[in-house]
């Protein structure tokens, strides 16, 4: 039986705790022998039961050093120090060869314990820069769903935490069991860790003197072959001045911003319409389906068709602006 410790640290967040409890604390989806599934315990600082998980056996942090896998859910207060006894237990677990997995900002807890030193890791894209700033010895990858570096795993935001948990089931019990669990939870059976986080593109500045009018003008014409010179002309700036202004206001350059807007338009049309890949390529200014597929896969590590399968919304199937 595979033993798992779910760490209920002081700032643990309910969503990731519930995900781990649901996946690893549920009956095996194919109804196999009980001794072939997980034995999960909750770990608190004092060993007292936690109101979120009254159905789980609860032990102190010391038990972390004796299990096979340690799960650290996201942290709500990133500025709080980590309990020294938790740090000691995580270090001991790693030294013993346990598998350690952090869900979302739980990566900050593993980082504080030194578990991520010299490793590749990820976290929610909104906090990736902060993780890299605080812990420069970690190779932080902000644009992937989850990453496995030896026996240490980290994930991005909430849905990626679910992906990582299912990945662990797949590693331990095979694809059939993981897929059965995914079907029961009505979620995609497998999203690879290298797939990019679906990050919201930077929004246009809203100050009256900013670039908002030009950026909105460009968004309304993504089906056209816009150039940096076109944007600069509309903004009454030279291309160099435009580049400086965009870097200051949006932290990106004109070409990169325009490319991201085209991809964002493609994502929206894939989610909301039944338009063909060729139609979407034309509508977002990519020209051909082949060009759209190439740029889409390069940016998001999935094909447009796979993206549509995962994120397709119900509603008006017509191609819109």
Q: How many helices and strands, by DSSP H and E, does the chain display?
A: 13, 9
> Does residue 196 form part of some domain?
no
236 and 100, same domain (yes or no): no
SS3 43: strand
164 and 246, same domain (yes or no): no
* pTM (2 d.p.): 0.66
- pLDDT, tens digit, for every residue of 164-221? 999 999 888 877 788 788 878 877 665 666 666 655 444 444 444 578 899 989 989 9
SS3 197: coil
32 and 122, same domain (yes or no): yes
Distance from C-alpha of 216 to C-alpha of 221, rounded to nearest angstrom: 9
133 and 226, same domain (yes or no): no
How many domains in the chain? Answer: 2
- Cα–Cα distances in angstroms (integers) from residue 247 to residues 11, 242, 251, 252, 274, in the given order: 36, 8, 4, 5, 36
27 and 129, same domain (yes or no): yes
Q: Which CATH number characterizes residue 169's domain? A: 3.40.50.880
Distance from C-alpha of 30 to C-alpha of 285, rounded to nearest angstrom: 47
90 and 147, same domain (yes or no): yes
168 and 295, same domain (yes or no): no
| pLDDT band at residue 52 using 50, 70 and 90 as cut-offs | confident
Domain span including residue 84 = 2-185
SS3 75: strand
Distance from C-alpha of 270 to C-alpha of 262, rounded to nearest angstrom: 12
> Does residue 57 form part of some domain?
yes
Mean pLDDT of all residues belonging to the chain: 85
101 and 226, same domain (yes or no): no
pLDDT of residue 207: 42
Distance from C-alpha of 22 to C-alpha of 170, rounded to nearest angstrom: 16
> Does residue 16 form part of some domain?
yes
pLDDT of residue 35: 57
> Does residue 55 form part of some domain?
yes
């Amino acid at each position: 039986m595979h033993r798992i410790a779910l760490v209920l640290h002081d700032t643990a967040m309910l969503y990731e705790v519930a995900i781990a409890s649901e996946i690893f604390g549920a009956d095996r989806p194919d109804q196999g022998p009980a001794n072939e599934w997980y034995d999960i315990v909750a770990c608190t600082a004092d060993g007292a039961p936690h109101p979120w998980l009254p159905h789980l056996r609860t032990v102190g942090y010391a038990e972390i050093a004796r299990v096979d896998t340690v799960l650290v859910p996201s942290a709500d207060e990133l500025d709080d120090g980590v309990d020294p006894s938790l740090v000691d237990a995580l270090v001991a677990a790693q030294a013993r060869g346990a598998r350690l997995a952090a869900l979302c900002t739980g990566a900050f807890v593993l980082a504080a314990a030194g578990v991520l030193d010299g490793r590749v890791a990820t976290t929610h894209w909104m906090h990736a820069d902060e993780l890299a700033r605080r812990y420069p010895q970690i190779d932080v990858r902000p644009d992937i769903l989850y990453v496995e570096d030896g026996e240490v795993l980290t994930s991005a935001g909430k849905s990626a935490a679910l992906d990582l948990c299912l990945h662990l089931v797949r590693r331990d019990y095979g694809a059939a069991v993981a897929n059965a669990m995914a079907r029961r939870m009505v979620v995609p059976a497998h999203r690879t860790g290298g797939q990019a986080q679906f990050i919201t593109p930077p929004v246009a500045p809203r100050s009256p003197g900013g670039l908002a009018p030009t950026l909105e003008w460009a968004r309304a014409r993504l089906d056209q072959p816009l150039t940096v010179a076109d944007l600069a002309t509309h903004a009454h700036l030279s291309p160099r001045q435009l580049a400086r202004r965009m870097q200051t206001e949006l932290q990106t350059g004109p070409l990169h911003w325009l490319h991201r807007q085209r991809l964002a338009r493609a994502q929206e049309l894939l989610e909301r319409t039944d338009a063909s890949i060729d139609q979407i390529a034309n509508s977002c200014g990519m020209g051909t389906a082949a060009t759209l597929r190439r740029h889409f896969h390069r940016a998001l590590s999935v094909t447009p068709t796979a993206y549509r399968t995962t994120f397709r919304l119900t509603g008006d199937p017509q191609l819109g602006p």
